[in-house]
Structure 1
Amino acid sequence: MAKPVRARIGKREIRCLTCGGDVFREREVKLNSTGMEFFNLAWANESATGLICWSCGYVQLFVNGGISLYRADA
């Protein structure tokens, strides 16, 4: 099972847009496109950091590299 994390961009803490929680599970999410799938090049698609709210399950995606993750004790 994924470990709970908190996240921030710069000095700003990230919170869940649905419930306001601040603890997440993190996972890489591939941003697949139809064209790349058709040509069997899905591996070349861009990926994002997915933050899944520990409380309600809402998923937020971040494409930039400016997100910082740190351990949370849920």
Structure 2
Amino acid sequence: MGLFKKAEAQQVSVKGHQLHCPVCSETLFYQREAQLNTAVASFFNFDWANRSAICFVCANCTHISWFLGE
């Protein structure tokens, strides 16, 4: 995948269940990672220490479903 190319939307399974968008019922999603910033860590420039979440962006309506890692 090139730097500016969009990853291909895929079906996603969460704990053995196919993910469906709660807004439009789509089953194809783009996967992204997002940092869960906290005010204290940001204040002290320790954003790198915050947890991350996996986000699935609906390929149809762009609704974002967030999941914390293991």
- Same-fold status (TM-score > 0.5): yes
Partner of 2:58: 53
Q: Any stretches of 5+ residues in structure 2 without a counterpart?
A: 1-5
Query: Is 2:52–2:69's contact at 8 Å kept on the other side of the alignment?
Result: no
Identity %: 29
TM-score, normalisation: structure 1: 0.82
Which is bigger in relative contact order (C-alpha 8 A, separation at least 6)?
1
1:6 to 3, 6, 11: 11
Aligned-residue RMSD, C-alpha: 1.0
**Number of aligned positions between the proteins:** 65
* Structure 1 Cα separation of the partners of residues 16 and 64 of structure 2: 21
2:34 to 26, 29, 33: 29
TM-score, normalisation: structure 2: 0.86
Q: Any stretches of 5+ residues in structure 1 without a counterpart?
A: 66-74
**Structure 1 runs, 4 residues or longer, greater than 6 Å off:** none
